[in-house]
Structures are given as C-alpha cells and as structure tokens.
Chains A and B, each alone.
Chain A
Amino acid sequence: MPALGADMEAGTLVEWLIKPGDWVKRGDVVAVVETQKGAIEIEIFSEGVVSELVVPVGAKVPVGSLIARIGVPGEAPTPPVTAFPAAPPTPAPPPTTTPVATALPALRGGKITPAARRRAAELGIDPAGLLGTGVEGAVSVADVEAAAAHSAPVSLVALPPRRAGFDSAEMRKAIAAAMGRSKREIPHYYLSHTVDLGAALAWLAAFNDSQPVPNRLLPAVLLLKASALALREVPQLNGAYGDGGFKPGPGIHVGWAISLRGGGLIAPAIRDADTRSLPELMSVMRDLVQRARAGGLRSSELASSTVTVTSLGDRGAETVMGIIYPPQVALIGYGSIGSRPWVVGKRVKPRPLVTVSLAADHRVSDGHIGALLLIAIERLLQEPEKL
C-alpha cells in the first residue's frame, strides 16, 4: 500500500484493475484505493507479471503493507511490490503482519492447459487468476471447475463501493493531520516579493490572440513554469526532508494545489514541470483539475511532488503565506494578480502585480536562499517568451 501523502496511514482497496498473469509495466494503473483524499488510482513502478493479489477488494490495510506481487518472467521468486517511490517515508508495516513473503509458491508463468482454457470459457471463468495444481503448476480443468464451484456463491455478495467521490469530512481530517504535523515539525520562514507581470501578461495576450480558444493559456501557467525554472537555480528548495536530512528531488515535480468544489484541497504532481512547454503544462493542469475533482488521480501524482505551488487566482487574496506539505521543504504561493500602483522609472504607474511568497523549511535553507528563488522568479517572468 503506497503512501499517498505523509498523512496517510491506511488505504482501502476498492478495485483491482489487474489480475494474476497480467503483464504490467511502469505507469500502468493497477488498483483504486480509497483514501481520505478520495479514490486514487494506484500505478505500478516495476515491470513483470502479476503473480498474486494479496489484499482483497474491500480490505483496509496500513501503508507499507504488501498488496500484490509481481514477478519478472524467468525469475522464480516473486519480489513483493514495494517499488513505490513514496516521497514521504512510509511507516513500516506492523510486525504482526503475516510474513507471506516466504509462503508463496514460485511464479509458474501462468500456464493454463488447453482443456482448462476451454472449460473456463464454458463456465465463464477467467482462468488467469487461478492457482494451478496441474503439471508444471498449470491451471487444469479441475482447478477451473473448483473455482467455478467456489466462485458461484461469492458472486452474489454485493460488490464493495467503487470509486466513491471525495468525502469532505475525511479530507478535512487528512488536511488537519498533514498541516498539524507541518506546523508542529517544520520551522517555517516566510518571504514575499511583489513582481510586475506587465511583460508577462502582454506576451500572454499576444500569444492567446494567435491561438484558438482551447489552446489559450492562463497566467497561472507562466507562474508555474517560472517557479519550476527558478527551482532549477535554487535546488535547495526542491526535495524532501526526512531522517537523513534533506534529499534533493529527483526532478522538479511541482505539486499544483487545486481547491475542490466540496471544500478541501489536493496537490497532484506535475512531473518535470521545468522541462515542459507552456501549452503542455496548460493541458496537464486542465487534466489534473478535472481528474482531481472527479476522483481519478493516480498514486504517482500524489506521492511524488518535490515542492508545492499554489496560486489563488483572480478571486483570491493579495498574498498567501502557505504551510509546507511535509516532507517537502518549500511552498511557493501566488496571490491574486491585480492592477496596483508601481514605480516604473521615476513614475508611479498602474501595473498588474502579483505577490509571490515562499514558505520554506529553516532546517534546510535560510532566508538568503529563499530570496534567491523569489528574485529568480521575478527575473524569469520579465522574459515570458523564454519560459
């Protein structure tokens, strides 16, 4: 069970999207897990053949529990699926957990005899998921018929709820836990800086004029890209803090904070945001917002962020002073963009301004480093055509 956030302690498996014998590769969605943040699609991070689904649908298991096994063909032992690069350190499974790792038969390659295959079709059974007792571990007719006899009553049992929407009370609990931990553990420091967005918005208007409506960009994309590029220059703010101190992120995976209509907040990752084009980022953002609100986020999107960016948008307040999402070490916040007096040359002029703030972990960085980031963001936003 992957950790889909530092605050997650357990998850309920609501749907398996794979079965033993299936070939899976990195990135495939293999299961749906119900968490406090709603139903999350779990992706797999290794490649191989699914040999066993350990956790049945409907079961709630602690983070770190074994939920399935996959094996690499040709290798007899089946390594447990523990390859999730969970950004937050995952608590070890309780010692009372049955050590199933040694009790399993070797992966047998999912053999099914021709007769068993035909019998399974007659009985409407999928033979791929069955334990084979035939020659060389093949699923035989007897296995299929036993499964048919066994599964008939089971199919009458009501299916567990699938892909439930967000439970805002649960999500509130999750946010409370994560933010409480953040404020307890992380010595935040805050910086803010006001940035003139005149050049950026002018470039954006010109760009959008040349594009059909669906391709038009929002200012938030510029802020996101500028943040990601700035983090490239100030890598001390991109990563995670854990037992071993600070660990730089493997890439700049920006958790983009999305507020949900029923209340609540979620920050799925936009991976490698610094390397993506603006139109690409725009489409990723649109997709994430849609899926976040529909409950279709994936595990990798919840567990892999190395920093969080929040933008309050048009209707927000002028400044946001955020709380870091552990174990990240920084949160970059953008207030609303508004026309305000600004000194240009020697004159006060109305300019579109935004206040960029940084909440950072003082265990990892100091104010000087934080300031470098904000200054870099400002500089980058002055040359929007380079973003």
Chain B
Amino acid sequence: MSASTQITYREACRQGLRDALLNDPKTFLMGEDIGRYGGCYAVTKGLLDEFGEERVRDTPLSESAYVGAGIGAALVGMRPIVEIMTVNFSLLALDQIINNAATIPHMSGGQFAVPLVIRIATGGGRRVAAQHSHSLEGWYAHIPGLRILAPAVLEDARFMLAAALADPNPVLIFEHVMLYNIEGELDPAVTSVDIAHAKVRRQGTDVTVIAYGNGLFKALTAADTMATEGIEAEVIDLRVLRPLDTATLLASVAKTRRCVIVDEGWRSGSLAAEIGMRIAEQAFFDLDAPLRRVCGREVPMPYAAHLEDAALPQPADIAAAARGLVRPA
C-alpha cells in the first residue's frame, strides 16, 4: 500500500460506495439527484459514469416510494444503498423504515432479511434553515431492528459502509453535513472498522465527554482548550447510536467519574437523555458530579448564521459544562 494520503470525508464516503459497487454486483445506489447531479453533497459524483444507470439510479422526489423499493430489493437478495438528502426528508419514509424495514425480519419469523443500507445527511451549520438542518438520528436510535451509525472520522466514513452491507438487517448511516469537507490522512493500515463499538478518541482522566458526528470535533476542540487549563477530558466517539455500546461509556465514567454528553439534537427525549439515564442506572456509584448535557436549543433551526450557531452546541459550551463539573465555581 502507498503511504497515507490527504482525503476528504466526502471522498472517503465515495470510495466506500465505489468499493461496494465493485465488490458486489448485487449492490446498487438509489436516491434523489445522486446520478446526473452527482449527489446533493456531491458524494456520488462520477459514480453514474463509472457504473451506469442500472446501478446508480436517480429517483423521483418520493422518499416513501424509493425507500420502499429499496426494502423490496433487499428482501429479494439485492444489496441496495439508498441515499436520503437530509434527515428532515427521511420523515416521508418513516413508515417504510419503521413499519417495514425494521419489522419484516421480526414478523416473518426470520424468514426475510432486509439487508438495506440508507445513507442520510444530517445536522446543522450550513445555513439551510429549519427544514434541512435538524438532527433526528436520535429518533431512529429509538427503533428496535435498526442499526444506526454516525461516522465522524475518515476511517469510519470510508469503511463503515462495508460493515453495514455485511449486516443482514437494515442499517442507517447518518453523515453530518459539516463533515464532508473535512480533510485528513486516512491510515493505510486500516481496511475495515467494526460497527458495534464506541471509541475513545482522546484519553483523559478528569471528565468524560461523549459525542458523535460533528459533535466529536467540537468535543475534541473543547478538550484541547481544557487541556491548557490542566483539565484532561476523555472524549468518546459514540459511532454506533444503536445498539449503544454502554460498556465503553461506563468504563470511561468509572475512570473519570464525571460525564458530559454532547448531542446536536433537541434535549427533550434525546439520545443524550438515554445515555445519561444508562449512566445513572449503571454507574451511579461511580459518579462524583451530576451528569450534564450540551444539546441543541429546542427551537426550529434558525436561518441566520449567528442564531444557528447559538442554537447548536459549540466547543465553548462543552468546555464550560465539563469545567463546571471538574472545577465548580
């Protein structure tokens, strides 16, 4: 293998898709504007030319129909990869995802598998307002029968797809829209990743910060700031939103005794709430401080830049929350 090269998150995703198309003739892509336009976030650019219309299929603006078509294809042995432009639009396909994809394997007594992968862009920060900017992956993490992934680092963007395709059950991959342009080096030694575990991205002793997606990088920035103050934060990349890797979280909290959970989603009924509750249930006696959350403000995402920034968790918010646990005023 060659030495590591600079690559964007977008390119990592595309390489993952290309690998999938190359490796398995039963794999095909489906979604709005993924072919001729190259994808709303340009992830599938060039794939139509390389693989043709049979395997890179533009669909009408009909999320319910094409997600349903993906489920049908999966049921008969294909390996469809469906793209939904934003998580807000995925609500139109909610019935297909929850009532069919997640339930058919169960209701058929295991006779039918739904090896469907749905890629969904999620998150705020791109100034595209309240119908294109929310973080609803926490809702999907509520549904038994689904595996929910949130790749944040390049390796995960590159290799989570293969693992998702290997899973006989429906897997939803949430790609945060602010990550596509992130550029970095892809470790050539990494050729696969698991889709079962959270990962400690930064070791620390004083406070655990749990985050995923774009929140991971905000948490790492906050940790760097805190390090200059002598506070060592341990930052965990959740990676898999369902099923939660509770063991990794508990092990970290047992060490640091303090925990801040970062979640771009709205606080009420959030994934952060679930994580916090699991820690309270299973690590109560390890805690040396109350649990804290840094969540999105409970408003429809504002369009104005300063308001959108204010509505989203920011590194300073995360640092303040963690600092408040380690060094209360």
- Contact mask for chain B residues 274-305; partner A; CB cutoff 8 A; 1 contact, 0 none: 00000000001111111000000000000000
- Contact mask for chain A residues 101-117; partner B; CB cutoff 8 A; 1 contact, 0 none: 00000000000011111
CB proximity to B under 8 Å, residues A111-156: 113-118, 133-136, 138, 140-142
Tell me whether B324 is interfacial, beta carbon within 8 Å.
Answer: yes
A141 pairs with B328, CB closer than 8 A: no
- Which residues of A sit under 8 angstroms from B257, Cβ to Cβ? 113, 115, 141
- Which residues of A sit under 8 angstroms from B324, Cβ to Cβ? 135
- Contact A115 to B328, CB < 8 A, known contacts A136-B290, A141-B257: no
CB proximity to B under 8 Å, residues A371-387: none
Residue in B287, B288, B328 whose beta carbon sits within 8 Å of that of A136 in the complex: B328
- Which residues of B sit under 8 angstroms from A142, Cβ to Cβ? 288
- Which residues of A sit under 8 angstroms from B285, Cβ to Cβ? 114-115, 117-118
CA distance A118 to B286 in the complex (A): 8
Tell me whether B325 is interfacial, beta carbon within 8 Å.
Answer: yes
| Closest beta carbon of chain A to B322's beta carbon, Å | 12
| Closest beta carbon of chain A to B249's beta carbon, Å | 16
- Which residues of B sit under 8 angstroms from A134, Cβ to Cβ? 288-289, 328
Residue in B284, B286, B325 whose beta carbon sits within 8 Å of that of A135 in the complex: B325
Interface SS of chain B? loop
Residue in A113, A117, A118 whose beta carbon sits within 8 Å of that of B289 in the complex: A113
CA distance A292 to B324 in the complex (A): 55
Classify chain A: how many residues form its interface, as a range: 10 to 19
| Closest beta carbon of chain B to A193's beta carbon, Å | 72
Classify chain B: how many residues form its interface, as a range: 10 to 19
- Which residues of A sit under 8 angstroms from B288, Cβ to Cβ? 113-116, 134, 140-142
A114 pairs with B286, CB closer than 8 A: yes
A114 pairs with B328, CB closer than 8 A: no
- Which residues of B sit under 8 angstroms from A141, Cβ to Cβ? 257, 288
B287 pairs with A115, CB closer than 8 A: yes
Closest to A133 in B: B328
CA distance A114 to B325 in the complex (A): 14
Closest to B325 in A: A135
CA distance A135 to B326 in the complex (A): 8
- Which residues of A sit under 8 angstroms from B290, Cβ to Cβ? 135-136
- Contact mask for chain B residues 308-328; partner A; CB cutoff 8 A; 1 contact, 0 none: 000000000000000011001
| Closest beta carbon of chain B to A289's beta carbon, Å | 51
CA distance A269 to B329 in the complex (A): 50
B325 pairs with A115, CB closer than 8 A: no
| Closest beta carbon of chain A to B278's beta carbon, Å | 15
CA distance A114 to B324 in the complex (A): 18
CB proximity to B under 8 Å, residues A272-325: none
| Closest beta carbon of chain B to A256's beta carbon, Å | 54
Pick from A113, A116, A117, A118 the residue with the most CB of B within 10 Å. Answer: A113
Closest to B254 in A: A115
- Which residues of B sit under 8 angstroms from A135, Cβ to Cβ? 289-290, 324-325, 328
- Contact mask for chain A residues 74-118; partner B; CB cutoff 8 A; 1 contact, 0 none: 000000000000000000000000000000000000000111111
| Closest beta carbon of chain B to A131's beta carbon, Å | 13
- Which residues of A sit under 8 angstroms from B325, Cβ to Cβ? 135
- Which residues of B sit under 8 angstroms from A115, Cβ to Cβ? 257, 285-288
| Closest beta carbon of chain B to A103's beta carbon, Å | 18
- Contact mask for chain B residues 238-259; partner A; CB cutoff 8 A; 1 contact, 0 none: 0000000000000000000100
CA distance A138 to B286 in the complex (A): 15
CA distance A133 to B324 in the complex (A): 12
Chain A: residues with CB nearer than 8 A to chain B?
Answer: 113-118, 133-136, 138, 140-142
A-B contact pairs, 6 of them (CB 8 A): A114-B285, A134-B289, A134-B328, A135-B290, A138-B289, A140-B288
Question: A114-B285, A117-B285 provided; 10 other pairs, C-beta below 8 A?
Answer: A114-B284, A114-B288, A115-B286, A134-B288, A134-B289, A135-B289, A135-B324, A135-B328, A140-B288, A141-B288
